[in-house]
Amino acid sequence: DAGVIQSPRHEVTEMGQEVTLRCKPISGHNSLFWYRQTMMRGLELLIYFNNNVPIDDSGMPEDRFSAKMPNASFSTLKIQPSEPRDSAVYFCASSLFTGGVSGNTIYFGEGSWLTVV
């Protein structure tokens, strides 16, 4: 079974350039998450969608970051303009939210390793 698919796996870009990260969630999942991971700050939730609708973007660091989910099988995270402090691993994850108290399994992609120089 295909898991969460992210692209690119690695990207090196110059400061000021636009970066677009892409994600294909697991088919049938209704929730999608974008996380950022750094050594200093750990795994931070940036934004999550339910049924393609952004529910909470309070984790998005600033206006340079934007995320979209035009349909159930695709999402993008865009950084424009990029800065060196944006260097991190960006994870996309998806889940089938059922509303129960027991929590739902989040399935992560392999991550997009971004370096801004």
Partner 1 sequence: TQLLEQSPQFLSIQEGENLTVYCNSSSVFSSLQWYRQEPGEGPVLLVTVVTGGEVKKLKRLTFQFGDARKDSSLHITAAQPGDTGLYLCAESTSGTYKYIFGTGTRLKVLA
111 binds partner 1 (CB under 8 A): yes
What one-character DSSP code corresponds to residue 52? T
Give the integer Cα–Cα distance in Å for 93 and 25.
Answer: 7
Q: List C-alpha distances in Å: 94 to 43, 54, 70, 71.
A: 15, 13, 15, 14
42 binds partner 1 (CB under 8 A): yes
How many residues touch partner 1 (CB under 8 A)? 26
105 binds partner 1 (CB under 8 A): yes
50 binds partner 1 (CB under 8 A): yes
| Per-residue interface string for the shown chain with partner 1, residues 51-70, x marking contact by CB under 8 A | ----xx--------------
98 binds partner 1 (CB under 8 A): no
25 binds partner 1 (CB under 8 A): no
| Per-residue interface string for the shown chain with partner 1, residues 4-23, x marking contact by CB under 8 A | x-------------------
Give the integer Cα–Cα distance in Å for 7 and 78.
Answer: 12
Residues 6+ apart with CB under 8 A from 99: none
